[in-house]
Structure 1
Amino acid sequence: MPIAQIENLIRYVTNSEGKTTDVLVPLELWQQLIHSLNTDNISGLAWIDEQEPKEQILADLQESVRLAAAGQTFPISQLWEDATT
């Protein structure tokens, strides 16, 4: 979204002296901003995922393979819910 279009969506709050004190941002724009701040542009991963130690990633993968080998599988809907909460 071009900056000029974003500027038209933002509203400013002023106090009784006319000093700007706050900014109102539409929720959809706010969510896009937060998402872009929390996502690595190169990998597409969330910042928290980029910071996860490689040892933890490997341990999680090994546990997933162990569960799959033992026949413990999960419906995709459950995995999706776990990933988005």
Structure 2
Amino acid sequence: MNLEHIQQQVRYLTNQEGKTTDVLIPLDTWETILQALTAETHPIDSKAELIADFKQSLIDAKQGKTFPLEELWEGIEE
């Protein structure tokens, strides 16, 4: 669903003066919007986790906490 399709689904409510006051969005369109917003916020969490892991690995390396490279690849599927 693209932005143009979403815009076609939206209906506006106006008051007696003709001022737009509310928006009506079909439920399936709203759920699609929510899913897209959730998907956009997840990479931010992943980036934060990645940065935190990287910082921790630098701290561990500085303290001499190392382990064989093979352990890093365990559980990673090709």
Q: Normalising to structure 1: TM-score of the pair? A: 0.44
Larger-Rg structure:
2
Higher relative contact order, chain-length normalized (CA < 8 Å, sep 6+): 2
Q: Normalising to structure 2: TM-score of the pair? A: 0.48
Whichever structure has more helix as a proportion of its residues is: 2
